[in-house]
Amino acid sequence: MTSEWPLWEVFIRSQHGLAHKHAGSLHAPDAAMAVKNARDVYTRRNEGVSIWVVRSSDVVASSPGDREALFDPAQSKVYRHPTFFPMPDEVKHI
């Protein structure tokens, strides 16, 4: 029987109130051990105040082949950015 522990992805929230960010991955037999290992491996220098772990096999990712189909349409919609609209100099606070 294989005893290789499953792979987990680790997300850490840093001190500054930001969202959890992917820090890396590790092996652990279960979720509780994954959190413990993540604490030892990814927060040795006060990098975080909160940890999420997710089984790597549970992550659903977009495919590189779909990159154009997914992301190119946004390129032609520059009006979604506020800088698209020139504002007269006299108008303030907008």
Partner 1 sequence: MYAQLVDTGLKKVAEASEMSADERAFQARVDADVKIEPKDWMPEAYRRTLVRQIQQHAHSEIVGMLPEGNWLTRAPSLKRKAILMAKIQDEGGHGLYLYSAAETLGVSRDDLIDDLHAGKVKYSSIFNYPTLNWADIGTIGWLVDGAAIMNQIPLCRCSYGPYARAMVRICKEESFHQRQGFDIMISMCNGTREQKAMAQDALDRWWWPSLMMFGPPDAESVHSAQSARWKIKLLSNDELRQRFIDQTVPQAEFLGLSIPDPELRLDEATGHYAIGPIDWDEFKNVLKGHGPCNRERLATRVKAWEDGAWVREAAMAHARKRAAREAA
Query: Where does this chain bind partner 1 (CB under 8 A)?
Result: 1-5, 7, 24-27, 29-30, 33, 40-41, 44-45, 61, 63-64
Q: Which ranges of the chain would DSSP assign to H, the alpha helix?
A: 31-42, 67-71
Are 53 and 9 in contact by the 8 Å Cβ rule? The answer is yes
To the nearest whole angstrom, how small is the minimum distance from the Cβ of residue 55 to partner 1? Answer: 11
Under the phi-then-psi rule, with left for phi > 0, alpha for psi from -120 to 50, and beta for the rest, what region is 93? Answer: left
Which residue, 45 or 80, has its beta carbon nearer to partner 1? 45
Q: Whose Cβ is closer to partner 1: residue 30's or residue 50's?
A: 30
Identity of the residue, 18 or 91, whose beta carbon is nearer to partner 1 in the bound complex? 18
